[in-house]
Amino acid sequence: GAVVSQHPSRVICKSGTSVKIECRSLDFQATTMFWYRQFPKKSLMLMATSNEGSKATYEQGVEKDKFLINHASLTLSTLTVTSAHPEDSSFYICSARDSGETGELFFGEGSRLTVL
Amino acid sequence: LAKTTQPISMDSYEGQEVNITCSHNNIATNDYITWYQQFPSQGPRFIIQGYKTKVTNEVASLFIPADRKSSTLSLPRVSLSDTAVYYCLVGVYNQGGKLIFGQGTELSVKP
C-alpha cells in the first residue's frame, strides 16, 4: 500500500534553534499534504494545508512565520519550526493525498519534537 | 465541516464485540464517513470508510443509518492489540478538502 514517510521520527533541539521535518510520499504523487500537531492525550489538530507549488493555507491561530511549510515537489513537503521553544514540543504528523484517481489520504508515522 | 461527537472512552474484554457510535448531525450530502485507529506515538491508520448502509472489510464493519446523522464502528472479537484511540471523521475524503479530527474514543481492551 501507499506509504508516507516522515523524517526524523524523533528530534531533540535546544530552545531558539530551528528544526525541519520532512514528509515524503514514497510511491505516489501528492499535490496536497496536511500537517497536524498532537499533544499528549489529545486529538490531532490541523495546522495547515500544503499545496505543491503554492503557499500553504494555515488554520486559524497557527503562526505562519513560526511554522514554515514548503511543498516544492509532488512527493515532498517540509515543516520548519523556527526559533523553537519548549511549548513547541509536540508530535507532528503529516498526511498526503494521492493526486491520482483514488484521491486517498495516507498518514505518516509522526515526528516527535522535544525542545529543551 | 461536519463536527463529530464520540464517547471519550470505552472498556471491553478480549473476545467481545465492540461498537463505537459517532454522531454527525450536520453531515453534508457529499461527505463520507471514515474511521481511523491510532496507537501511541504513531500516525493514524485507516480502518474503514462508508457513505451509507453497511460496509464490511477484514477488520471492521461500519453501520450507517438512512439519515446518516450517525455511524457505528463495529470491531468483532477484540484483542488486547485493539487498544487504541478510534477517530470518526466526516468529509469529502476522495477529493480535495481537509479532514478535521474530533476527540476520538479511547478503547481499552482488558484480558
Give the per-residue pLDDT at B2.
66
Cα A83 → chain centroid: 17
Q: What residue has cell string 516544492? A: A72
Q: pLDDT band at B43, cuts 50/70/90?
A: very high
User: Is B84's pLDDT higher than 90?
Assistant: yes
Q: Check pLDDT > 90 for residue B17.
A: yes
C-alpha cell belonging to residue A8: 526524523
Q: Cβ of B100 under 8 Å from any chain A Cβ?
A: yes
Cell of B86: 478510534
As a whole-number percent, the residues of chain A with pLDDT over 90 amount to 76
User: CB neighbours of A86 closer than 8 A, spacing ≥ 6?
Assistant: A15, A115, A116
In the predicted model, what is the mean pLDDT of residues A1-5? 82
Single-letter residue type at A31 = T
How far is residue B35's CA from residue B15's CA, in Å, rounded to a whole number?
21
pLDDT in the model for residue A57 = 93
- Please tell me the predicted confidence (pLDDT) of residue B1: 60
- Nearest by CB to A103, from B44, B45, B94: name it: B94
A/B interface, count of CB pairs below 8 Å: 49
Q: Is the dihedral of CA A80, A25, A6, B97 positive or negative?
A: positive
Interface test with B, best of A21, A41, A44 (most B CBs within 10 A): A44
